[in-house]
Structure 1
Amino acid sequence: MTHYVIVGNSAAGIAAAEAIRSVTLNGDVTIVSDEPLHPYSRCLITEAIAKDSPVEEISFRPVDFYHRLNIQPLLGKIVDAIHPAEQKIRLDNGRELSYNALLVATGARAVRADVPGQELDGVFTLRTWSDAQRIARKAEKAERAVVIGGGLVSLKAAAALKKRGVPRITVVVKSGRLLSRQLDERGAALIQQALEAEGIEFVWGQNPKAFKNKPGSSLIETVLLEDGREIKASLVIVGKGVIPNVELIKEAGGRVRQGAIVNKYQQTSLPGVYAAGDVGETIDLLTGEMVPSGLWTLAVEQGKIAGFNMAGERCIYEGNLTRLNAAEFAGVPFVSVGLVEKEGTGWKHMSYFSSHKNSYRRLVFRENRLVGAILVGDISQAGIYTALIRQGIEVSGHEEELLYGEVSGYQFMGLAKLDQNLSRMKVGHSTLEGGNKYA
């Protein structure tokens, strides 16, 4: 009997399992996960910091999910190795599982600070539900917290600590602004002002040099910065990005760069082995480059593609936007899509600020096409901008109308080349060859 094995129980792994079962009810499907929990949304784990909430509140599949799809879950188990020649995986307890098709959807892990004192009690990274729970427990009695990093995870953590009631929170940022991968200076300043109004403080141009404790204690007491300043802290959260968990594929002889290298079917260089989600690299629609992407929606798309192909349906992944972020801080929402930082010949940047709405908009054009958009405060036309960027529609002559929000998506419908061929079915930005009667 065919055996499909999936390593990973989050967005990509669950999407793959569902895709397999949409193609065939035959064969065994096993999901192995190092976490002992039902599938939950990693994007929402700061809810456990902000308030005492059970993991069920952010679960994205019902409790009978495994039973209903006839899936065997092996939760709280660690995969130690892949043996592609034997088509087996080995768990850290020595147990082996045979497979006909294997998906590695092991995600990514948080980057640690790599400075003295990172092992002290009270210094955390934030990637899993258990991380969030441990931070919440520490936050109960914390008088002052320090958050390292100015990205999405760090700011969500800082906002959650504020909701939890931590009296004083300082965010330490190496760059000169927040969200440097998503926003420009003007947009970042609006988010900064909103967070400062909530009582969150910022230190700029610094990284931690060390985490220090009292002599004879294992508890964090201060954060030593590069310029010699020290900040009192009984709780530290390090948010400096993530690293794809490629070790299983690499040690089995598979090709990796930053992430696992996959082809248009989500196959790795190992026979019968696929990869999807944060662990792998994906095609950026705007640049054509293979890059890692931590977007949940892309992980779902790639998981589906991998699952269809594992089950014998030939399905091509055509790539997507690898930069598409949306969040809200202190009542100020923002959306960032596409190439918001790029400049050069043929590029044009346009921006608009409304003091009445306290909103900001910046659009980036390349060769008469919209390729990037930043919206802060008023995000009402984010869907139109995203569609124009994704489809690569020429907008020559409409730039100012787009900037001021005076254009609707209908004005471009005649320009969009939508594939209506009934023999092809789109799954995100992928194509099932010959259709799929189960989809």
Structure 2
Amino acid sequence: MTALLDGTARTDAADLTLRRGAARVLLDNWVGTGTVPSRTLYPHQWSWDSAFIAIGLRHLSARRAQRELESLFAAQWGDGRVPHIVFNSSVPNDAYFPSPDFWRSSTAGAAAGAPAAHETSGIVQPPVHALAAWLTHEADPGESRRRGFLPRLYPRLVAWHDYLLTARDLGRGGLAAVVHPWEPGMDNSPCWDAPLARVTPAAPDSFRRADLDHGHPADRPTDLDYGRYVRLAVAYRDSGYDDRAARPHFALEDPCVNALLIASETALAKIATQVGEDAASHTKRAARLTEALVTRLWDDEAGMFLARDLTTDTLVREHSVAGLAPLLAPGLPADIVERLTATLTGPRFRADSTDLVPSYDLTGPAFDPTRYWRGPAWFNTAWLLERGLRTHDRRAHADRIRRAILETAGATQFAEYVDPTTGEGRGARAFSWTAALTLDLLTTQEARR
């Protein structure tokens, strides 16, 4: 039995019910070579979703988790980027926007090495993949070795990280930059408001939003913001997906993206050891990234990390959950770990008293408990914080977040995200990464007993 938030106990039967529900979501959303985030709003394969899904799927089938990552990396571009969407050719174009005929990856991205055999988007998402690959290997090392999983994936992971730290080092400070609000994964965060205000939106009649067919407008980005997203994507596409051309329009260094790069470089060092490659190079790169992260994005007054707008070369004074994600970095200085923990549990995020940690400052002017990434709590960021806290031996706080994830996932039918003030489920239900990370926490919880 395990303790609940109110001090009572979870029963083994409750855990079993939750486990079966999570497994059913992952089985239902599997489409043969990968997993869709949901059967309604997201009918294709998403990059960081697949990484999180593999982390949970490994507890059901290590081989299927390996295939999840392999199918994603089969669509990797020649320049090393891993696209944020790999499109399913059997899904009609009007089922999701922007669709393959918008991105035109195989033609517009040809100079950057876009694959001819797969239609993808041209932008990327956070690099969770090496961490997911290592955890997947650990779930069944024998099956991993039999299939040559790590030797096949390792060079692709290295190329992915090399891309981020060369072509995407747009600030020349040693960190990876994002060139579109969709890239950090926190699409509609108030952190992007000021940079986006410089972008002229695309005309409303130039695109049709498929997301509103499945989500309430009050939960989704506004038409104005969506018009700006489209304008940025068109400009990037028309440049041939040239990162140098993207920089003047929208370029930021995001703390969560770079924290995940540190965690994945650390995982790559372990993978390198397994495949007979140089582990020290990855350990050194993780250390350099950590130093750059602290130098460029730490804000002592805020007590957390902030995004850096490369157009103005200033920190964005908005406090989002992304600024707490660097807890994932194992080499983070102890005093910064202490400050981050205080911020996480303080009035802005109230990690010890809310059901799940909000995506944006509860006291901030732009806080909205239901609108996409402007306040709602997400299960993947909660999982990252749980892991980060445990990395730095903050066990009591980590246990609190783990229990909140398990309770909320079950109560909301594995919702996409929740209102952090009420715990009400929002967005899609039977959401894959919610189910996957629930399954992961249930299994690792048992291993610690």
| TM-score exceeds 0.5 | no
The structure having more radius of gyration, on CA atoms, is 1
More strand per residue: 1
More helix per residue: 2
Q: Which structure carries more relative contact order (alpha carbon 8 Å, separation 6+)?
A: 2
TM-score with structure 1 setting the length = 0.26
TM-score with structure 2 setting the length = 0.26
